[in-house]
Structure 1
């Protein structure tokens, strides 16, 4: 859209002042510009002046939480990214995903490699978007593992800025459990027998369907019935 205005100069008029009003809107638009052109009575361009409008709205991009906890049995989770501000165009958001104790391609990410497009799009009419990250479910007994996700803000005009939360730590909780079984007992023991005859054998076994990458500790204890203090535990 262009606007025009004609000026009339009489012999006594040497100059005229022309004002151009800039509208203040609520859109995050970046730097905009227009040009004011001066033409003579024959329509020939004599001079022009460029005007740049600096936007005063800021578009903030942020995560919703500084930490996110998921179970490895979930298979995947959605990382929420929010946008505050109004824009007329879509926004591309880049994510930098780095290992902590969790390893990409082993504990999270698409398989067999963790290299996947860490880019998502927030449409102009959206205020948030969810980014899907797969989680691998294994059969290994592990401690809680972590990896990190950071927002990358890439714009030259400063209209898109980082919000309050630009880094999120993801905690993957192990869902594998070790089942420990106790077998033995259920016999009568003659306290007057030999040492071997007075020893009751029990067997402690663990479930073999999971892999251990660390030692596990189990404890045994006795509770008195009618017998009190008349036995000891040996190993």
Structure 2
């Protein structure tokens, strides 16, 4: 019987991803997809298998994006989107997440027109989720992040800037509401990122002085907020 080695690193792909071993994680997720695709040939009408394959395609896409292989990541994420869409309305939650990730990858890859298009689909999918899909706080957080991506894509492309501003305003409202009753590091960081995108949007609107002023204010306010958080 093999003895337990506390220094042996896990080869589980989720653990590898969490630990930043993205190539190893990618290989693990890809191997799992291959196994499930073999099973799918035997059970082609099994929606759970298709769902699992789509989820791991999303994971492979995340790994590729972390490795800087954005074009490959976009292709893989698009494949996951296709499967989620084919599985129907019950997959709106993972579909919205994958669309959001895809929009970010496309933007980072310079495919700004596609990023704008996909980010709109992500917001529409988030809004179409029923009230029972997730707890209210989780849905609010996810919608805020998706709205921020929607705005970011438009700020980078320099299009639909009024819509981008409306999306950022809604995202910030959702995030500010989440500060109650107790601020957390995560929500403070989320607000910080959203406000930096607000500064980016102002710059794109030709308001460079306002953008610089807001960015400086946001950075100081973020530092102050982090310093006042209760320590464990």
TM-score, normalised relative to structure 2: 0.17
Kindly indicate which of the two structures has a greater share of residues assigned to strand.
1
TM-score, normalised relative to structure 1: 0.17
Kindly indicate which of the two structures has a greater share of residues assigned to helix.
2
Kindly indicate whether structure 1 or structure 2 has the higher relative contact order, using CA contacts under 8 Å at least 6 residues apart.
1
